[in-house]
Amino acid sequence: MKKVIFDTDIGIDDAMALLFLHYSPAVDLRAIVTGFGNASVETTTRNALYTHPGTRIEPYWPFKGRQIASTWVALTACDEDSSAAQFVRGSHAWGKVFRPMAFSKKGGSSEFLDDNAAYEEIPDIDAAPGDYEILCWDMQPGDAIVFGAEIVHGAKQNKDTSRRRAALSIRYIGDDARWNPTEGTDPIVTQERVGVHPGEAPRNDKWFPKVWSAG
């Protein structure tokens, strides 16, 4: 078996490559290293650490609206000790947008990141577990959780050294969602790549294909 260190500027294509490496019987994936490439090292590190405890989708995704749902699909069996997704019950009703977490201070001058006082710093959930009700479920491959963008969620470090945890995240938007690209959001789907303008509803195109309509 070939030992591999995956050096990546992780986006959509590298995420797929990572899945192939994960499932290949010929590969022993020993480490993941992020670097500058398609995006800054801050962004690629954030992508790799997307399941860091205490995140919300809304600050990281270039859309604004109540009708935003994320589907978290387990590709491997997982539980609380092996980094299954966890959710802070009731946090969707807090009415707050927290600052996106910058995983590196280098180049982190974005007004939407640590220096923006308009967005509150997310509470340290792990430091006061008794103050919150944490929801977590044992998952099998193919199991899915659908949740709103406002809920605080994350995952703990995988303590199970005998297996890796892999999952797929798919996001769906409804009629009230509007394009809202800001610093700190997804670096893959940018203003330069899409035909929609800030404040507009997405069009049915290759970036935002319509998957279902009530009409």
pLDDT in tens, the chain (215 residues): 788 887 877 766 777 777 677 667 788 877 777 777 666 666 666 666 543 334 455 556 788 888 888 899 999 999 998 989 999 999 888 877 777 665 444 444 344 454 455 567 788 888 887 899 999 999 999 999 999 888 888 888 888 888 888 888 888 998 888 998 876 666 677 888 888 998 999 888 888 999 888 76
Domains of the chain: 56-193 (2.60.120.620)
Going by C-alpha positions, the residue among 129, 152, 119 that lies closest to residue 53 is 152
Q: Is the dihedral of CA 189, 191, 194, 198 positive or negative?
A: positive
Does residue 87 contact residue 134 with C-beta atoms inside 8 Å?
yes
Q: What is the pTM of this model?
A: 0.63
Please report, in angstroms and rounded to a whole number, the separation of the first and last CA atoms in the chain: 53
The two tokens of residue 139 are 């998952």
Does residue 12 contact residue 50 with C-beta atoms inside 8 Å?
no
